[in-house]
């Protein structure tokens, strides 16, 4: 099964797979930007896709299930949230991060 994730503000989930010594770390759902000596990791606009059929996808799935209270990524779809045993939260790209969507006002009065 394919898992799809967005980066969550304040969290950095290491990219699965081998690491090359001397290179900057990479993170799931984040791009590496280098401007002079400043390195930033803004969230990508597209979700990171991983497959549970390989070790990388299995590692991220285990991490999401184990860290339910502080999960480091937003599931990008309902199927991914279900696999991670998390509620699905709709998110939107604001600035350089994914944030929970704010409820839209319907103009039909307040709900109490």
pLDDT tens sequence across 16-74: 878 788 888 889 999 999 889 898 999 999 999 999 999 989 999 998 988 778 889 99
Mean pLDDT of 93-108: 81
Could you tell me the pTM of the whole model? 0.83
Residue 59 lies in a domain: yes
The enclosing H or E element of 73 equals: strand 73-75
pLDDT reported for residue 17: 79
Residue 37 lies in a domain: yes
Q: Which domain holds residue 60?
A: 2-12+28-100
Residue keyed to tokens 């109490």: 112
Quickly count: other Cβ atoms within 10 Å of residue 28's Cβ: 23
Residue 46 lies in a domain: yes
Residue 87 lies in a domain: yes
Residue 17 lies in a domain: no
Residue 109 lies in a domain: no
Mean pLDDT of 68-92: 93
CA nearest to 84, candidates 13, 25, 31: 13
- Report the domain count for the chain: 1
Whether 110 shows a pLDDT value over 80: the answer reads no
The C-alpha atoms of residue 67 and residue 44 are separated, in whole angstroms, by: 22
């Amino acid at each position: 099964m394919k898992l799809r994730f967005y980066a969550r503000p304040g969290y950095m989930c290491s990219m699965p797979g081998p690491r090359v010594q001397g290179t900057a770390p990479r993170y799931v759902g984040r791009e590496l930007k280098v401007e002079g000596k400043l390195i930033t990791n803004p969230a990508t606009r597209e979700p990171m896709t991983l497959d549970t059929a390989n070790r990388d996808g299995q590692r991220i799935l285990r991490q999401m299930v184990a860290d339910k209270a502080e999960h480091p990524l937003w599931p990008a779809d309902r199927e991914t949230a279900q696999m991670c045993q998390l509620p699905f939260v709709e998110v939107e790209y604001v600035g350089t991060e994914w944030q929970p969507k704010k409820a839209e006002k319907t103009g039909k009065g307040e709900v109490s």
